[in-house]
A and B are shown apart, each in its own frame.
Chain A
Amino acid sequence: MAREDERRARIVAAVTRGGATTRVDQLMQRLCLFAVTELAASGCTLALIVGNELLGTLAGAGRHSSMITDLQFELGEGPCLEAFASGTPVLLPDLGDGVARWPVFAAAAAVPGVRAEFCFPLGVGANRIGVFDLCRDEPGMLSDEQLADALVAADIARDALLYLEDPPGHPGVAALLDVAGVDRIVVHQASGMIAVQLEETPADALARLRAAAFRSGRSIYDIAQDVVERRVRFDG
């Protein structure tokens, strides 16, 4: 098998084929495309995570794109959360094998046709910042080459987030957080509002919000939006 630095060089060459980029957002997008074209993923997402919460998706590609990542955070369970919490990759070549561990997620993911999922945490030691999430519409394990490529692609994404300085006029990491967070921050604002309504912590309020989304079958973001725009209260 190729040496790791050669592999890294090859993947960097592949993602910069359309012209070199120092923009974090473009690089993230191309890494996701790489997963779709070279690793036979039907969806790939690069997500920023804090604790058990999805802060935002940096990039996504493929038919299943960010939907499958979103789903796990809406349900509060799935291989992504486990990969992030444990700091080690979670490889699920057959989603059916995940039914015992993540019953709700496994059932929900099968609906749009996801059959396998592979999650790689981004971070160093205990300092983790996100996941590189791949899914497939066919069951089956990644080949050794694909697995090695995915690990290195995740490292490239991590290093880009940690080291890339954006040229003036382009989004830097701070601006990227704004872009990535734009549709999710409302969940945390709503958690704060519910926390005051019920005199509890925002973490408990978030659990309540998540339960409400699950019961109603609506998206957690939609309900959060209703809370922030004062169409829904939790103390009534």
Chain B
Amino acid sequence: MGEVSGGHGSPREDGDGARRRERLLARAFVRLADTLSGEFDVVEFLQGLSADSVEIVGAEAASVMLADARGELRLVASSEERMRLLELFEIQSAQGPCLDAFGSGHAVQASGAESRTRWPVFALRASEAGFQALCSVPMRARADIIGALNLFRGSDRPFSDAELEIARAMAQVATIALIQERAIRERGMLAGQLQAALRSRIVIEQAKGMLAEHLSTTVDEAFQLLNRYARDHNRKLTDVARDVVGRKIPHDALARRPETS
């Protein structure tokens, strides 16, 4: 590439550079829109986001932090080992650009002396790791802030407005994709539970019928026997019913009371 320390994004790009960036950007957005595919993996997705944003925004390293159920940030993906250690340090020391972006909901950046004033402990550590310009954009959709995308680079040249704009757009699309994926996953889980409840309902009715026929009882009495067997053997009613239907439990076994047998 030939530039000094900044890496990929020089302030004035030639046509080839701009076209290359456009191509990368298009590819990244296609990837971001891919949450509906069956094999969606959150970590892999965010790893891709980190790698893409390094290339497109012209950073040296990138990482993504997401808030957990208690609202605390967790490092989910990073483009390199150095970044990973640094971000874990940021969470530990409770100071740095990602925490600020996440807390305020606004993009944050500082480089050189400014970063050392703003985050004395963190900026020093970042500098030791080789990063001078530090930037973080929140991952937010309306009022929901779910995390932050962090971009660091070795030179102290601040991120340009255009670069920040691209970072914001990528973070936003990623946020929407993640929220959508969460909703789909949650719905899928609930639908699975309801489906299982409906299935077990049928199995229980079949088991009642089988027992009633075999033991010459009414279906209500058969249900009592099923319940008692499940209780006595400390098993779930559905599991016992399934074993009765599959003839894995001899039906006579349910007629006997343990204390009298």
Contact = CB atoms under 8 A, between A and B. Distances in A.
Given A50-B199, A124-B184, A159-B187, A173 B194 contact: yes
Interface string A168-195: 0000011001000100010011111111
B122 to A, nearest CB: 40
Contacts of A192: 205-213, 245
Residue of B205, B211, B214, B219 with most partner-chain A CB within 10 A: B205
Interface size band for A: 35 or more
A53 B199 CA distance: 10
A208 interface: no
Contact of A55 (B198, B206, B210, B213): B198
B201 A181 contact: yes
Interface string B148-191: 00000000000000000000000000000000000010011011
Nearest to A159: B187
A173 B201 CA distance: 13
Interface in A193-217: 193-197, 201-202
Contact of A196 (B194, B201, B213): B213
A55 B201 contact: yes
A128 B206 contact: no
Nearest to A189: B209
Given A192-B245, A196-B213, A197-B213, A129 B198 contact: yes
B219 A188 contact: no
A163 B191 contact: no
A195 B194 contact: no
A138 to B, nearest CB: 34
A161 B209 CA distance: 29
A191 B201 contact: no
A223 B71 CA distance: 58
A98 to B, nearest CB: 27
B241 to A, nearest CB: 10
A228 B198 contact: no
A124 B191 contact: yes
B219 A128 contact: no
A85 interface: no
A152 to B, nearest CB: 15
A123 interface: yes
Nearest to A55: B198
A174 to B, nearest CB: 8
A221 to B, nearest CB: 13
Interface in B11-53: none
Given A163-B190, A192-B210, A193-B210, A128 B205 contact: no
B195 interface: yes
B188 A50 contact: no
A143 interface: no
A232 B209 CA distance: 14
A59 interface: no
Interface string A124-159: 110111000000000000000000000000000011
Contact of A162 (B191, B209, B210, B245): B191
Contact of A191 (B191, B194, B195, B209): B209
A44 to B, nearest CB: 21
B201 A189 contact: no
A9 B187 CA distance: 19
Contact of A129 (B191, B205, B209, B251): B191
A177 B207 contact: no
B210 A195 contact: yes
A201 B246 CA distance: 8
Given A192-B245, A193-B209, A55 B192 contact: no
A48 interface: yes
Contacts of B88: none
Contacts of A185: 201, 205
Q: Which 8 A-B pairs have the closest CB atoms?
A: A192-B209, A188-B205, A127-B191, A189-B209, A196-B213, A192-B210, A193-B213, A192-B206
Given A125-B188, A193-B212, 12 more contacts: A50-B199, A124-B190, A127-B191, A127-B195, A158-B187, A177-B197, A189-B206, A189-B212, A192-B213, A195-B210, A196-B214, A202-B206
